Structure 1
């Protein structure tokens, strides 16, 4: 199990970011005629959030690669022994695979409305069908589930740090996007917001 996870984690994150960020970005860019990556690069607070996102993603990738290259050292640093159980590792792998599928499906269902960041130059359609009937943010939900699964497969304080900081940044981003969508779609978004939960609605 340990050797499998050692190779699984870096391969998983490479596939995750290649498909759900690079791949989807290329498809959407071709359709809308510009890059869907609209994160600002100025000195604003929003730009700072975007830079933190990139830093966390880079650190996550580096950590998994170091775990692959130095299996006798990195995975056991700050390990939480009580959670180091094969059952939790199996659950973690399952959650990560499920999260990957969830994110990709949600991105496909967003079609041309998908963006990395908030697009202030173009009005996008409000997507309320498919997975968006159950979650206003199925992509962020999937990313959160993926980080939970990662923590289960690699139960260390470092992995918990990625989960905690990643979740905080996503919750900030979600609220920024909510303000933008409310300005763009008004009462239509407000009605949708009341009907569907931020992360998950259970009927």
Structure 2
């Protein structure tokens, strides 16, 4: 196994455990609130939650084949013309930056952090720290992580996951903006006017 075959599954597992699972447990213990608020209805918001789960599964299939089943990895149609060390190093850098960026943004979001939209709750509007530069720093970090993964293992599946995740997050962000405009009112509109959606 080469460095990337060892690094990628470990880094991805740590990313999921530290950024999502551990953060969810900490928030639940602090507030008694389950931050995972995607449901099982046919609403657009809950459908997006199911798409996220499929994207995570697809990512693990792509990484698993790359790291542990190289013969099966060929079925994912690797993009040989993108398999260059500078691109893989760029992917490695993006994964590390994404982890740090997302972790800081989650810490700054504190008790307002949720996975999805809790329509029954009004959380505090966070507009400091990384939120001075991006209205959606956590989503930005997630997108950067998928881009980093694609650069390390460029194949049809990882590219499809990157593309679908980008479209899904763009949709989720707009749903969240509609919700925040309703519950936060003028304060969110003023924040929206001065801080860009991404960076």
TM-score, normalised on structure 1? 0.94
- Cα distance change, pair 85–192 in 1 and its aligned pair in 2 (3 A): same
- Give the equivalent residue in structure 2 for 1:27: 26
The ranges of structure 1 where at least 4 consecutive aligned residues each deviate by more than 6 angstroms after the TM superposition are none
2:102 aligned partner = 103
| Other-structure match for 1:170 | 169
C-alpha deviation, 1:72, in angstroms? 4.1
Native 8 Å contact 1:75 1:154 kept in 2: no
**Residue 75 of structure 1: CA displacement?**
5.7
Instruction: Identify the residue that residue 158 of structure 1 maps to in structure 2.
Output: 157
Distance in 2 separating the partners of 1:23 and 1:52:
22
Match of 1:92 in 2: 91
Q: Which runs of 5+ in 1 are unaligned?
A: none
- Confirm or deny that 1:14 pairs with 2:13: yes
User: What is aligned with 1:195?
Assistant: 194
**Could you say which residue in structure 2 is the equivalent of 1:69?**
68
How far apart, CA to CA, are the structure 2 residues paired with 1:40 and 1:12? 28
Q: Which residue of 1 aligns with 2:80?
A: 81
Question: Retained in 2: the 8 A contact 1:6–1:71?
Answer: no
Structure 2 partner of 1:118: 117
Deviations 1:75-105 (A, max 9, x none): 6742222211101111110011100111111
The alignment partner of 1:124 has SS state of coil
Deviation of 1:62 after TM superposition, in Å, equals 2.5
Partner of 1:47 in structure 2? 46
RMSD: 1.4
Q: Using the TM superposition, give the Cα deviation of residue 71 of structure 1 relative to its aligned residue in structure 2, in angstroms.
A: 2.3
Partner SS, residue 66 of structure 1: helix
Contact 2:58 2:157 in 1 (8 A): no
| Corresponding residue SS for 1:7 | helix
CA shift, 1:40, in A, is: 1.7
**C-alpha contact (below 8 Å) 2:62/2:76 kept by paired residues:** no
Report the secondary structure of 1:145's partner residue. Answer: helix
Helix, strand or coil for the counterpart of 2:2?
Answer: helix
Gap runs ≥5 in structure 2: none
**CA–CA distance in structure 2, aligned partners of residues 139 and 75 of structure 1:** 32
